[in-house]
Structure 1
């Protein structure tokens, strides 16, 4: 009984890295990190000033006191709910998700749908051609059989 050699850890790791999915994932992470900076800039430069028209420009300063709150800023004591930070993070997420969907996912899905429709149309056309060729061949066969049959009856 010969035992098959198991691939080594390094060979398995190399095979894992060479898969297309890993490379695609690495590219997506790098682009996502760069894209996060853009979204954060939009939130700081556009969203925060719009919110600042109503109150303060810094969303992190929006908070509510639950118990024994005294002081302001870093010297504040007590239990605070920092709902402004949550609001800012939520806005960043929603903006990021919307941009990714409308600029990447939606165009790609439309492209793939068009590609699938073209492929289906090509397959449909090819089936029609094959069916019509088959019909023509059957007609030729029937005509040849008819000619042989009529030729033998003369002799």
Structure 2
């Protein structure tokens, strides 16, 4: 019984050590930072959409997009606050507001983060020299070399296609 207890203690130590190692990996820390920055960024985007974009869209109707709706039934009555009190209404204003928030967020992320990162990667890739010696031999060239080697083993040195001898025969 004491053996099981010792095994459980060392096993839990292993689990705790593994969990600690998992938390200390760069990926997890970067993800945590991204979530925190994303949450802060979301409040900024929501403020821009509610304070600037929704009023611009509201020029075509009420200033509050949350009040935009369409009725399924012939009769829809709304309260002075804009809530539907009678009838079946589709509240498409909040959907429009959420869609605008998403589009603005996606645009800012793309133009402020993704596009500059892609340009940076392209510049770094252009700066790295291309290794010409690493050119891979095509399958046809490889088969030709094997054929020439086999012929050379049977008949002696055979001329290569370019008029010279094979590298193994030099």
Q: Same fold (TM over 0.5)?
A: yes
Provide runs of 4+ in structure 1 moved above 6 Å. none
Find the aligned partners of 1:77 and 1:33 in 2 and give their Cα distance.
Answer: 38
Asked if 1:95 corresponds to 2:101, the answer is no
The total of aligned residue pairs comes to: 122
- Deviation string 1:60-96 (CA, Å, 9 cap, x unpaired) is 0101111363333346133221111000000000000
Query: Where does residue 49 of structure 2 map in the other structure?
Result: 43
2:28: which partner in 1? 22
2:76 partner SS: strand
Describe the shift of the 1:8–1:78 C-alpha distance in structure 2 as closer, same or farther (beyond 3 A).
farther
Distance 2:66 2:88 in 1: 15
TM-score, length basis structure 2: 0.64
Secondary structure of the residue aligned to 2:61 is: coil
> Over the residues paired in the alignment, what is the CA RMSD in angstroms?
2.4
Report which stretch shifted further, 72-81 or 37-46.
72-81
Against the structure 1 CA distance between its residues 71 and 45, is the aligned structure 2 distance closer, same or farther, given a 3 Å change threshold?
closer
3-state SS, counterpart of residue 76 of structure 1: strand
1:14-72 deviations in Å (ceiling 9; x for gaps): 11111111111111111111111111111111112212222111110101111363333
